[in-house]
Amino acid sequence: MALKSTNPTTTNSWKKLQAHFEAIEAKHLKELFSSNPKRAEELTIEWEDFYVDFSKNRITKETLSILVELANELDLKDAISKYFEGDIINETEGRAVLHTALRAKEDAKIYVDGDNVMPGVYDVKQKIKDFTNIVVDGSHKGHTGKSITDIVNIGIGGSDLGPAMVVDSLQYYKNHLNTHFVSNVDGDHYKEVIKGLNPETTLFVIVSKTFTTQETLSNANSIRTWFLESLPKEAIAKHFVAVSTNVESVKAFGINENNIFPMKDWVGGRFSLWSAVGLSISLALGYDNFESLLCGANKMDEHFKTTNFEKNIPVISALLTVWYNNFFNAESEAIIPYTQYLNQFATYLQQGIMESNGKYVDRAGDKVNYQTGTIIWGEPGTNSQHAFFQLIHQGTKLIPADFIGFIKSLHGNKDHHDKLMSNYFAQTEALMNGKTEVEVLAELEETTLSKEEKQKLLPFKIFEGNKPTTSLLIQKLTPESLGELIAMYEHKIFVQGIVWNIYSYDQFGVELGKQLAKTILKELKNNDSLSSHDASTQGLVGFYKKNC
């Protein structure tokens, strides 16, 4: 059954939120803390290895209860059932959205068009496992009888970002295989990657759900040409595998049917790392770690499906985005992990969140009259503190931020970890409290500056504070906890889409530029007239052609 369609701004709870916002907007977080000594406890959710503190957000318990009322009024419960049960909730593409099935238990029964998808899911998992084991233990030999030393994942968007982020984030758990990622159609990208590689010991994993993507096919073709400069055609069978829904096109590319790891169209590209798209993850970390990643995601799925909205981490987290985006007019959200391992996490989430919820047409086909998808950005702390934190602390924009920290470091250098985590704690405290005029003056009193100099400096040193943050404190970065964390954001995306009344699982917005690029490429290659373009584009393309 289709998702319901309601303009959220027409609900009673939205009106209540508007009135509540006017009452709360001017309140400082410090005030909210001093008026409720139990605030931190009341607004923290402990689940598994997660301690999620929402209390440094500009909310009260009343805000949360009206936000939950909004979720209820929009029938979020019903939408969650449809999501997990394989209803066609990606209506514009006529598909179910079932990345959750990829990490479900084997005895689960999940139907698409009357067929239980789980046996198929487990067949592919078995194929990933068997292949991973022979590559990792060296028994899969390349054409010249040597074991594989290097894996190259060729894909883009969801066929690159998820696997690349997970492999990088979990590099501590990696085996001996070197893993590389080629994504950009920029020929310098693949050239740089292959320049140090030996084709005899390299395995290429071509990942493309559609197997029509220009970037991936160009890279795969160029790499195959390079490969065939040193090895014969028969060698392809030992060195190229593919992940796709488009088996015919993969075969036409020259890949043996046994080397195809299938995926289903009910797996969206940006949610596909749990499918065969995660083959490079499995190869790099070993199958057991891949399985733990899935297991973590499945735990978060259960939490999301079964927990009351008041204590439901993805639900609260999504409703807070709505609160800031639609009432405080905050345009962006920052993701700040306090671990260098999650260096690619914000980049990965940019696709997940912005490709899903960057839509201005609602589920009824009408233009929305409210804001939808937020802009996502971020970098690990403490590096980001020395880059853009100035703007979060003293800029003119409100930027709600997720601070993700881990109790244990992986290599166990306690001294460094305490330093890292003291920054993690201090930054959210500083963002919340700021620094008052009295505090700045007291500090200036300790200096030898003249009275005039102190007065002159004063306004620049004041921090207003009242900047909202959510602190996620997790035991340790493991395949399982990373799976939980990714799934948390996936469900957050879903809830936001339900509230904003948009279709989160299509991506028509990426098509127009691709179409135009095809036309321009033809014009570049054939020296065709540019007269169909606007004057600016004609000028740019013309200048390129003259000088290239």
In the complex, the smallest distance separating the C-beta of residue 336 from ligand F6P, rounded to whole angstroms, is: 25
User: What's the min distance (Å) between Cβ of 251 and ligand F6P?
Assistant: 17
* Positions in the binding site for ligand F6P (CB under 6 A): 156-159, 208-210, 213, 216, 269-270, 355, 507, 510
Element (DSSP H or E) covering residue 437:
helix 437-445
Q: Which residues pair with 260 in a beta bridge?
A: 242
Q: Which of 215, 291, 333, 355 is catalytic?
A: 355
DSSP-assigned letter for residue 258: G
Catalytic annotation, pick one of 105, 146, 419, 514: 514
Angle at 83 between CA 315 and CA 2, to 5 degrees: 115
What is the distance between the alpha carbons of residues 466 and 476, in angstroms, rounded to a whole number? 29
Q: Which of 15, 176, 191, 386 is catalytic?
A: 386
Nearer to ligand F6P, 275 or 317 (CB): 275
Cα torsion 133, 136, 139, 145 to 10°: value is 140
CA distance 3 to 314: 19
Nearer to ligand F6P, 53 or 506 (CB): 506
Cβ at position 160, least distance to ligand F6P in Å:
8
CB atoms within 10 A of CB 241: 25
Catalogue the E-assigned strands of 54-114: 111-112
Q: Are 142 and 126 in contact (CB under 8 A)?
A: no
Q: Tell me whether residue 265 or residue 439 sits nearer to ligand F6P (CB atom).
A: 265
> Please, which residue, 134 or 517, has the CB nearer to ligand F6P?
517
514 catalytic per annotation: yes
Considering beta carbons, is residue 11 or 210 the nearer one to ligand F6P?
Answer: 210
Whose CA is closest to 57, among 47, 72, 70, 67?
A: 67
Helix boundaries (H) for 159-286: 161-169, 187-194, 214-228, 236-239, 247-253, 279-285
CB of 395 to ligand F6P, least distance (A): 32
Nearest alpha carbon to residue 486 among 170, 212, 39: 170
By CB atoms closer than 10 A (0-12, 13-18, 19+), residue 437 is: exposed
Find the shortest distance in angstroms from Cβ 514 to ligand F6P.
Answer: 7
CB within 8 Å of 199: residues ≥ 6 apart: 226, 227, 230, 231, 235, 239
CB of 294: closest distance to ligand F6P in angstroms? 19
CA distance 291 to 297: 10
Six-digit token string for 336: 């700040």
Nearer Cβ to ligand F6P (190/403): 190
Residues belonging to the active site:
355, 386, 514
